[in-house]
Amino acid sequence: MMKSMSVKKLFGALAMLLVTIGSAGCDDDDKSGRHLELSEDECEVVQGSSITIGLTAHENTTLDVGNPELIEVVYTWKFDGYKAEIEIRGKQKGETGIIVTDHETGESAMIRVIVTEYPMPRLSVKRPNGNIFDQMIFYIYEDGMQGLTLNLSSVCDSIVWTADGMSGSFRIFEHDEGDSWASSRLTYEWGHCFKYPGEYKTNLSVWMDGKVIFRDQLGVSVADGRDFLAYNWSDITKNSQTWIAYDDRLMSGPDLMTTSGLAGSVPFVEARLLHEDDNAQSYRVLYDYFCRLCSLPAYEDSVDKQEMWRRYDELFSEQKKYPDAYPVAIWTARRTNIVLLLLDESAEVPGYMVYAEPAGQ
């Protein structure tokens, strides 16, 4: 009996010694820098970007995010010196916390995370005032910056440019992705030619998952201050070598092209549709456009066909480029006379076109 008790006491003493050695070993590890230690306990991250916080910890460390909808976190242990990193990526604006737990030591620490809003792209224009058919140059920039530096695909899937009162739109950014691919397209700068004078409100709408998450608006002013469309008569001193087409990013129409020249000594401008499906369509588009721009014609063949020939010869110069073309409608203004002509099959390009000369020739 005495022998048995002595053995028990011996085993008990050995057990106590092991516990003491084990405790001393843990204390030694802690003193060597293996306590949980964060490089910082508070950070700010921009929506769509990421930052990294360094820490000392064991591999068996976990992260508990208070609100996973706001941030994504990744823990990386480097072993060397028990150094580790926590990468924090901002998803949505807000504030949350991360509880870091080292399961080897049982220690925990809290990181406060503030996610700030992504600096959304803003809309600007190089010149806010212009004339009809002038190319107005629009562009996007980062708020507070001259350019655009951040990754748009991190916060949106498309950006669309529109103008109030106009049905068209222009998608300047779009992003799509699948399991193993991603595709993005960005137009940083674009031109547009307004065909009618007016005060326009243009809009930049940022879309994500079918919802507008941000909108910026910019006003531009468009005048009709030249003699005819984009031209002043005094600027036409020789024949143009080409037809000019005009940017229409909103596909708002009409899709006109123009050229200019001299008929003898008289300057003129021609305008016709860039794409002509048929004569009936060309007539209707051109007629409607100039009625809206200049009001109803002063003379029209549907009223008096014989009078149209007389007025055509009276209002346009003897040197006019198309003396034998059929005048369909005539508009008169203080500086300009305009006629909608039907060119016959002998013309280089038959069909409907608009011809203009200075008034009083």
Task: Tell me the percentage of the chain whose pLDDT exceeds 90.
Answer: 63
What does the pLDDT read at residue 229? 97
CB 91 within 8 A of CB 47: yes
The values of phi and psi at residue 152, to 5°, are: -65, -35
What does the pLDDT read at residue 202? 98
Q: How far is it, in rounded angstroms, from Cα 304 to Cα 298?
A: 12
What does the pLDDT read at residue 7? 41
Q: What's the pLDDT band for 4 if we cut at 50, 70, 90?
A: very low
Q: Please name the helix (run of DSSP H) or strand (run of DSSP E) that holds residue 269, with its range, or none.
A: strand 266-273
To 5 degrees, how large is the angle CA 33–CA 39–CA 41?
A: 120
Q: How far is it, in rounded angstroms, from Cα 322 to Cα 332?
A: 18
What does the pLDDT read at residue 230? 96
pLDDT above 50: residue 237: yes
* Residue 132 CA neighbour count, 13 Å, CB half: 20
Q: Of 44-53, 95-104, 184-193, 199-208, which range is least confident?
A: 44-53
CB 218 within 8 A of CB 125: yes
Q: Which residue has the higher pLDDT, 27 or 323?
A: 323
pTM: 0.72
Please identify which residue in the block is written with the tokens 């070598």.
241
Q: Mean per-residue pLDDT for 152-180?
A: 87
What does the pLDDT read at residue 218? 97
Q: What's the pLDDT band for 147 if we cut at 50, 70, 90?
A: low
pLDDT above 80: residue 160: yes
Q: Of 91-100, 147-156, 241-250, which range is least confident?
A: 147-156
Selection from 61, 63, 56 nearest residue 35 by Cα: 56
Q: Which residues contact 99 (CB under 8 A, 6 or more apart)?
A: 63, 64, 66, 108, 109, 110
Q: How many CB atoms lie within 10 A of CB 359?
A: 16
Q: CA–CA distance from 95 to each of 41, 55, 101, 108, 153 (Å)?
A: 14, 21, 20, 20, 22
pLDDT above 90: residue 61: yes
